[in-house]
Amino acid sequence: MPDPRGDGYVDEIPYTHGYHAAMNPRRMQWAVLQAGYRPPEVRNACELGFGRGVSLAIHGSVGTAAWQGTDFNAEHAQSARSLCEACEPQPRIYAESFAEYFARPDLPDFDFIALHAVWSWISPENRARLVNFIRQRLRPGGALYLSYNCLPGWQPMLEVRERLIERAGVAQRDGLPLGAAIRQAIVELDRLEPQYDVILHSLKKRSVGYLAHEFFNRDWHPMEPAAVATELAVAGVTRVCSVEKQPSITFRSEYWLRDASALDSTTQQADLSRVETLDGSGVSAERLVLQPGWGSPALHAQQVNAQRINGQLLALAERCVEPSVLACPATGGGLELGWVTLLLCSARRQGLEGPEAWADHAQQRLAALGQRPIDRGVVIDSGAMVRRFLREAAHRFAAQTLPRLQALGVLD
């Protein structure tokens, strides 16, 4: 039975194991600085609605801030705790509703409050509670990370979602569990109403965990960015920049400041001139833009914590296709490496020696989980081509990625 504390939020199916780099305080500080504002020093930080807790576990164990967070789903909270088990320090993790957590008498004032997509999936009443919490608990000069589904981009999906919920509800009343009901609803709607085929084709590619939590909560409220700003104005925060260089029409990731302080051009340029650019994984297309001090040796405790969390993430990658990130003590956050790279790391961690053995292990795990690798957007189906792709990936990993990950303290 759904937990009533969730106010209609799906809890029958766990959420995905996603990581959100925008919640790394250092990423936030760099983006705010680029936008011409003074970023806060982050000593206390909070994530609301953390899902499986990958971001919270990493930031709270290999970063420098004291993190805490809540998610009403007890399974999510346990997942987050298991990732950072034995880490010291580690984040304070609660399995409480917003109402319960916001009423805690032991909460500090926060320099950084973060929530990924939660805004779109809660009721107007809970949004009001959230705004009040930000007003009460975010320090002057503090930062808010907020991401949300936005209009007009989601407009075509509004009608499709209602039809899917209706069909899935019928299937559930006929005895199907939610996951199977969602899949059946998509197939039926695609057959009966082909005008939605483009949208439904994209949904067929997504995991049930994503679909359930994205579309099947009681509340789903894409909003115009101006409407979001109006509601948050009560909390005294101002939107200062987008996480993305080019904001999407369907999804926004943004940083907001309370009592924003603009920098003069001389101060801004002096700070920016000290920024270092580092290729975090050795072969990743994404380049991490690091603040002064990033990439320098991490504290011993952070390195130990990274090894412990990464061991959990690599074990998870053996049985689940979602993990794609490892904790990096040099950056205080996670590095997106991709699931296949995690399988190669896992093979090495298990004592297998050399790229050929690592590629063999990755191919075995792909087959066991019914997966095929993707190269530049194209699924590789041929067994021989899969083998060639994995061998090439393993040799690149050994020559380029592995030495860099070792230098950063990600792997031993």
Residue 146 amino acid letter = L
Flag whether pLDDT at 35 surpasses 80.
yes
Q: Which domain holds residue 312?
A: 300-407
What's the CATH code of the domain at 75?
A: 3.40.50.150
CB contact set of 300 (below 8 Å; sequence gap of 6+): none
Flag whether pLDDT at 244 surpasses 80.
yes
Name the pLDDT band for 216 (thresholds 50, 70, 90): confident
Of the two residues 273 and 318, the one the predictor is more confident about is 318
Show the CA angle centred on residue 411, arms to residues 312 and 353, nearest 5°.
95
Same domain, 195 and 267: no
Q: Which of 166, 164, 220 is nearest to 190 (CA)?
A: 164
Q: What is the mean pLDDT of the chain?
A: 86
Query: How would you classify the pairing of strands 251-258 and 138-149?
Result: antiparallel
Calpha distance 155→159 (Å, rounded): 8
57 assigned to some structural domain: yes
Number of domains in the chain: 3
Q: Which of 23, 26, 99 is nearest to 276 (CA)?
A: 26
What DSSP string runs through 27-59?
HHHHHHHHTTBPPPP-SEEEEES-TT-HHHHHH
pLDDT tens for each residue of 78-132: 999 999 998 998 999 999 999 999 999 999 999 999 999 899 988 899 999 999 9
Flag whether pLDDT at 346 surpasses 60.
yes
Same domain, 231 and 82: yes
Flag whether pLDDT at 295 surpasses 60.
no
Same domain, 204 and 57: no
Same domain, 315 and 170: no
DSSP state of 370: T
Of the two residues 75 and 1, the one the predictor is more confident about is 75
344 assigned to some structural domain: yes
Q: How many residues does the chain have?
A: 412
| Identity of the highest mean pLDDT range in 186-190, 278-282, 385-389 | 385-389
Same domain, 172 and 251: no
The residue to which tokens 């917003």 are assigned: 98
Contact 387, 365 (CB under 8 A): no
